[in-house]
Structure 1
Amino acid sequence: MSPNTHAPSPDTHASLNTHDAWQLTRRISPRDSVRTMVREADGGLHINAYPHLHTLSTQAPSTPWCMRLADTDGTFKQLCFDFDAKTDDDAAVEDSEALAAHLTTLGIPHVLCESSSSGGRHLWIAPAGGYSSAQTAALAIAARAHYRTLDHGMLLNPREGAARPPLSPHRNGSHSRILHGTPHALLEPAADPQQLDALTELLRATAPASHPADSSPSGPTSNHNPHRTLSRWGKAHMATTRGGTNPSWTAFMCLLAAASAGWSLRDVEHAARTAPGMEHYRTKNTGRGTRRPRSTSEATERLHRQWLKALGIAQLHSTTPQNSEPRDLSDLSELLDRTQTLLNTLHTSPGRWTRTEAAANQRSVLIALAHLMVQTGKTTVAASIRDLGLLAGIGRTTAATALRTLVDNGWITKVHPTDGPNAAEFELSHRFSTSSGNVRSQPFKNPRPPTELFTARSVIAQQLTDLLTDQRHDLFTRAGFGHRTGMVYAHLRSIDRSVTKDTLASTLGLDPRTASRALGLLRSARLVVKRSTGWARSRQDRRDTVARQLGIRGTLQARAERYRREREQWAWWLAEYATMTSQPRQRPRRHHVTSRLLFTADEGGERNWPRYPRDTVGRADHRTARTYVDAGVLSPTSRWKLGDVAA
């Protein structure tokens, strides 16, 4: 019988203690020491850090400990896949069960643990003879592309990557609990490295696309038809039988498709009751291969919280271009290296990007630029100040100021200036390059691109999306609580984990006074709560309610519409200027802006703009032109309303 067939009985778990956990750690640890936590002055364990070393003696540590996964040579003797439940405990369960199903299919022995009472999951594998750091990194990146709750950083760090072992204590007083498998799978490593390589290839081949429109269902589909029109990919996810192999991911893709199609919350609530793909919002994974119904309040709270997140991502995708396939894979490899270095810089030097509101704006613009580059697959990208402002949640003038500062300080390079309707082109500075050597170019006509590059691209694209959407809200605009307060709220992504003010200030690079002010604003709006161990995000997302009370609800949407009109007027004036400077015989016949067209041509090609308004002396009347644009006169669908505008 497979060691992963049955979980230990509850009596077995009850008999486990710190001594059992320490004895297991001593037998499976690749090193002769572990890292331990340090108690604060009040005796509590408030900071989730393990700064001290404790040798593998017979005496167990007095505080929780974590075990390095690789030996001193960098070979991984234990693999731990950490599924974080800080934002969605059910998603962590779904993701861990989905990966465990792949392991069972491939015959790879494993142990699945509930890491603590907070609901996270640890999935352990012991490779026979060890697994190299390069192979481990490839597997970790492939798995992260699949599972959004996976924290794969420990598997990318052969020197200090560590995790709490099975049965070990947690700082909240609970213990790691084995759900499936037995410790023998870790005491006697039996996972064949070739099987792990096969797992990597399987995950790469089935990885979700980085852009929703290119995604496909994770399981069989039915003939379900949504009650409102959806895109083709949205219909496929809605019809996925019982949510497919990963119901939480499928359900969120359904929400994202609905948000992109302009559905209302009432439409989504109806679909959550009927659509096969939204099984995640009707039932809950028990962790034992079965599902049980959710309570009405739990299902509603979860659906509403995820719907707000889907709306934010849908708005972000409406601003960014579709993914494009790079012709030269060396460009994509260089781009991913630079972007990863950028992310590391933001993490290791937070104070540089948060000490002032202007610095925080520069950070957001830099992330927005990297997001555009990863989405297009190009190291050089054209980016207008309006697009960058919409992506970052700031105004166009603020984005323009941030861009100039980034260029002056050498963080980005302006490759080509603005040219008429074409935006300026930028690239990340070479200070983000990981190598100073030249990269050999590959021929333009490649066979199928290496899957590992596109897998890494999906992972980095998701990281950039999270950084942009977590703080992009009407409430965190200048008229509301401000950009840095939004960064504090975004950092408190967990609804179950608390952070002290000092830890928050240190992690984000804020001075204590700024951190206190941000927490005060969030607390006054009941967006965060004070606990005995620190600050945590409120379970209910009240950002829309608070923004409505402050009279700023819809600020970002109104800004996007205003920028759209500015672009339309600018394109109209450029067409007028081109006509003015062309030969008379080359000028097309143009109707007056208030003329009522009986029909419009559907053929592609250059748009036939009407005559630009003029004042009494023949000069361009930009104010009147803006009035026509705001009224929608240039749209053929509003031609029956022109009489009121003309009057």
Structure 2
Amino acid sequence: MTQAIAVRPQVQCMIRDAHGELSSSYPARRWVRDPRPPSAPWTVHLADAEGRFWFAVFDLDAKKPEDHPAAAEELGVLVRVLEGENVPHVVLRSSPGGGYHVWVPTAALPLGLMEQLSAAAKAVLSETLDRGMLHNATSGAVRPPLSPHPAGGTSQLMAGDLAMLHRDAPGRVDAERMLRLIAAFRQLRPADSPEQEQPMGRLVPGYRPRKPLSPHGERSMAVAGGGANPSHNGYLCLLAAARAGWSFDDVRHAAQTAPGMEHYRTKRLPSGRRRRLQSAEAEARMHKQWERALDHVVTDSVRPDWTAPKDLSELAALVDDVDAVMTALRVSPGRWAVTEHGLHDATVLRAIAWLTLTSGSRTVAAAKRSVATLTGIPAPTAGRTLLRLVKAGHLAKRRAHDDDHAAVYALGNTFSTAQKHVEPLHNMNARPPGQLFDTRTVLLDQLTDELEAGRHDVFTRNGLGSTARRAYEALQRDARTPQQVADRAGLPVGRVRASLRILRRYSLATRVPGGWRRRVHDHRRRIAAALGVDGLLKRRNALYAAEREMWAWWKEHLSTRGGRQPRTRHQRDPRSPKTMPVRFVLTDARGGPDAFPEYPTHPDGLGDHTTAYRVVTTIGLQALRDLELSA
């Protein structure tokens, strides 16, 4: 098989050490025409010596049993996309332990087209796809079909005809058909916000959830069979429920009948059929995603609205700058990972980068309380960190804050990737628009995952601290060596090893063959309770919300006293929830039921801020307004 498909005269092989153990790389080379097969696993290149790709291989990793469901679900999505575009493919189980290789024969495609495919596929198959080989024309390689695996056994054919992979076989995928495949992936790419996503599938007529949901949530719940991507659609259902204030019991009850929550009732088998989940397995799967949805609701509370850039060159510059920021945080541990200040600087920079990509604007408004909510860092610390980053030139302050608006920042010139071009502009190879949005989605997924993983009570100062947080953020679903974790986290490898031992002691990381990874089950809340910090961030966020409400109330009091037209509370914040109906719908000099109530004052006319704070945190402004109108 290797001789039939190899596009280079040599293959790369593993070697054994003095104890007979296999290396984790493929340093040796063997001639393809050598009649003796290698004594250790080997790989074949996907591209020839000229950099033209003759294969596209989708590697869906599942090194642990708990990863198998996610890999099987994404295999189903991938196969449906390939079959929908009539793309020839071969599906193999990469090893007896799990994981899949999906081979697509291609017709000498250029690297640029494979980079587009890599970004588009990763945006959809975000959990298990290892895409490194898809955009590496020099050394991108994979074990050939039926070849041995380092852990034992061989890859096994599941579907397709291996003869279509032979070099002289007809029907290889050309550039035109590859562009159609890329477009099919982009149709499944997650939108910037769940409300913008259109359900991929037929809606079951007449289905209504038991409790109120947003229109988008109702559509997600009603998608027959979970749609084209049951895993993603099931998560959208949980996210809509979390935003609507549902409890986990409400979600568990809805999962029994909601068509769109098929992912939490059955699991996909490698054969393509679905098997009903055991109740304990279904609940564990749902609980893990529910915790993730609750974290995402906090992130969405500070998500800015998307503003389409004037042209794609502006968006390309934003993506390049954010990529440069993430690279700088990785390669300069002496600046970002030695002190607590440096770790806070890196966390706030990632938050500004996330706001930049989310908004599509080079300048973003970033109040210190919003940054604190997004990162889990206390608001005073976040404010000092922003000032420190501006002073160092890593952020540029474009506008100072005023009474009603937060300060506006932009990523500094220290991260700019702009280069001086000596060629005419028409000779430059710009990224296609689709690839640009795919790359943006992948970067956003990475930033969101790191922010949500580290924003937890257990990593506050009285918990495990900032270094353990950064190491935990850098851990992946698949195994990583301490050096790989250090490279991703931008930490010295010695501190990474110490942090990994701490995370393992508290059941937040586990050691597996090949390195370290996060635990499958999230124990952060249990460990936070044991450390006495459970609920700390929730109390902080409640405090920030109360301070914002009290400040808006005080500003409205000054506005009313100055003779200007009072504003209603809904005019102040369009994201404010609708008020409950009042018993007596009356109006007074301040306006209708949505207006601010009278601010408490002392006899001398000065504001009684202590009483105002107590009203905001206990009674609530709407209840006080109802009392005024009732009186």
What TM-score do the two structures reach when normalised by structure 2?
0.85
1:631 aligns with 2:608: no
Which position in structure 2 is the counterpart of 1:169? 148
Cα displacement string for residues 191-240 of structure 1 (whole angstroms, at most 9, x for unaligned residues): 23321121122333443312111112221111322112111111111111
Distance 1:195 1:420, change over 3 A: same
Q: 1:66·1:165 contact (CA, 8 Å) conserved in 2?
A: yes
Q: What are the ranges of 5 or more consecutive residues in structure 2 without an aligned counterpart?
A: 423-431, 569-581
1:115 aligns with 2:98: no
Cα displacement string for residues 352-395 of structure 1 (whole angstroms, at most 9, x for unaligned residues): 43333332222221111111111111111111111112111211
**Rounded Cα–Cα distance in structure 2 between residues aligned with 1:311 and 1:54:** 52
1:622 alignment partner AA: H
Q: 2:91·2:103 contact (CA, 8 Å) conserved in 1?
A: yes
After TM superposition, give the deviation of residue 141 of structure 1 in Å: 2.0
1:408 aligns with 2:386: no
Q: 1:355·1:509 contact (CA, 8 Å) conserved in 2?
A: no
Which position in structure 2 is the counterpart of 1:271? 254
1:195 aligns with 2:181: no
1:91-490 aligned within 5 A: 91-128=70-107, 130-149=108-127, 150-187=129-166, 188=169, 190-222=172-204, 223-349=206-332, 352-436=335-419, 450-490=433-473
1:212 alignment partner AA: P
Cα displacement string for residues 583-636 of structure 1 (whole angstroms, at most 9, x for unaligned residues): xx557699xxxxx99547799999854554444655444333323322344x22
Distance 1:371 1:41, change over 3 A: farther
Which position in structure 1 is the counterpart of 2:572? none
**Rounded Cα–Cα distance in structure 1 between residues aligned with 2:515 and 2:558:** 61
Distance 1:572 1:39, change over 3 A: farther
After TM superposition, give the deviation of residue 554 of structure 1 in Å: 1.8
After TM superposition, give the deviation of residue 434 of structure 1 in Å: 3.3
2:120 alignment partner AA: A
Give the stretch that moved more between structures: 530-539 or 624-633.
530-539
Q: 1:272·1:281 contact (CA, 8 Å) conserved in 2?
A: yes
1:201 alignment partner AA: A
**Rounded Cα–Cα distance in structure 2 between residues aligned with 1:344 and 1:589:** 46
Cα displacement string for residues 271-306 of structure 1 (whole angstroms, at most 9, x for unaligned residues): 222111111222121121211122222222222222
Give the stretch that moved more between structures: 419-428 or 140-149.
140-149
Q: Secondary structure at the match of 2:398?
A: strand
Q: What are the ranges of 5 or more consecutive residues in structure 1 without an aligned counterpart?
A: 1-23, 440-448, 591-595
Which position in structure 2 is the counterpart of 1:79? 56
> Does 1 or 2 have the higher relative contact order (CA < 8 Å, sep 6+)?
1
Q: Secondary structure at the match of 2:58?
A: strand
Q: 2:241·2:251 contact (CA, 8 Å) conserved in 1?
A: yes
After TM superposition, give the deviation of residue 330 of structure 1 in Å: 2.9
Distance 1:384 1:588, change over 3 A: closer
After TM superposition, give the deviation of residue 63 of structure 1 in Å: 4.1
After TM superposition, give the deviation of residue 483 of structure 1 in Å: 2.7
Which position in structure 2 is the counterpart of 1:542? 523
Q: Secondary structure at the match of 1:493?
A: coil
Count of equivalent residues:
598
RMSD: 3.4
Cα displacement string for residues 140-164 of structure 1 (whole angstroms, at most 9, x for unaligned residues): 2222222223333332333333333
Q: 2:194·2:236 contact (CA, 8 Å) conserved in 1?
A: yes
Q: Secondary structure at the match of 2:255?
A: helix
1:390 alignment partner AA: T
After TM superposition, give the deviation of residue 79 of structure 1 in Å: 0.9
Q: 1:90·1:248 contact (CA, 8 Å) conserved in 2?
A: no
Distance 1:88 1:325, change over 3 A: farther
**Rounded Cα–Cα distance in structure 1 between residues aligned with 2:26 and 2:110:** 25
Q: Secondary structure at the match of 1:218?
A: coil
After TM superposition, give the deviation of residue 542 of structure 1 in Å: 1.9
Cα displacement string for residues 318-363 of structure 1 (whole angstroms, at most 9, x for unaligned residues): 2212333334433222212222333344445556433333322222
Q: Secondary structure at the match of 1:78?
A: strand
**Rounded Cα–Cα distance in structure 2 between residues aligned with 1:157 and 1:606:** 62
Distance 1:183 1:519, change over 3 A: same
Give the stretch that moved more between structures: 288-297 or 608-617.
608-617
Percent identity for Structure 1 against Structure 2: 39
Distance 1:126 1:64, change over 3 A: same
**Rounded Cα–Cα distance in structure 1 between residues aligned with 2:592 and 2:313:** 34
Q: 1:352·1:509 contact (CA, 8 Å) conserved in 2?
A: no
Q: 2:556·2:566 contact (CA, 8 Å) conserved in 1?
A: no
Give the stretch that moved more between structures: 519-528 or 255-264.
519-528
Q: 2:124·2:189 contact (CA, 8 Å) conserved in 1?
A: yes
1:631 alignment partner AA: T
After TM superposition, give the deviation of residue 106 of structure 1 in Å: 2.5
**Rounded Cα–Cα distance in structure 1 between residues aligned with 2:450 and 2:407:** 24
Q: Secondary structure at the match of 1:413?
A: strand
Distance 1:320 1:506, change over 3 A: closer
1:552 aligns with 2:533: yes
Give the stretch that moved more between structures: 362-371 or 457-466.
457-466
**Rounded Cα–Cα distance in structure 2 between residues aligned with 1:123 and 1:532:** 24
Q: 1:597·1:636 contact (CA, 8 Å) conserved in 2?
A: no
2:345 alignment partner AA: Q
Q: 1:354·1:360 contact (CA, 8 Å) conserved in 2?
A: yes
Cα displacement string for residues 166-185 of structure 1 (whole angstroms, at most 9, x for unaligned residues): 23333333433221113222
Q: Secondary structure at the match of 1:127?
A: strand
Q: Secondary structure at the match of 1:112?
A: strand
1:622 aligns with 2:605: no
Cα displacement string for residues 549-586 of structure 1 (whole angstroms, at most 9, x for unaligned residues): 33322222211111111112222333445566x5xx55
**Rounded Cα–Cα distance in structure 2 between residues aligned with 1:641 and 1:96:** 58
2:527 alignment partner AA: V
1:480 alignment partner AA: G
Q: 2:559·2:566 contact (CA, 8 Å) conserved in 1?
A: no
Give the stretch that moved more between structures: 37-46 or 309-318.
37-46
Q: 2:593·2:625 contact (CA, 8 Å) conserved in 1?
A: no
Q: 2:331·2:490 contact (CA, 8 Å) conserved in 1?
A: no
Q: Secondary structure at the match of 2:53?
A: coil
Cα displacement string for residues 38-89 of structure 1 (whole angstroms, at most 9, x for unaligned residues): 657765457x544555554625444444433223333212111222336743
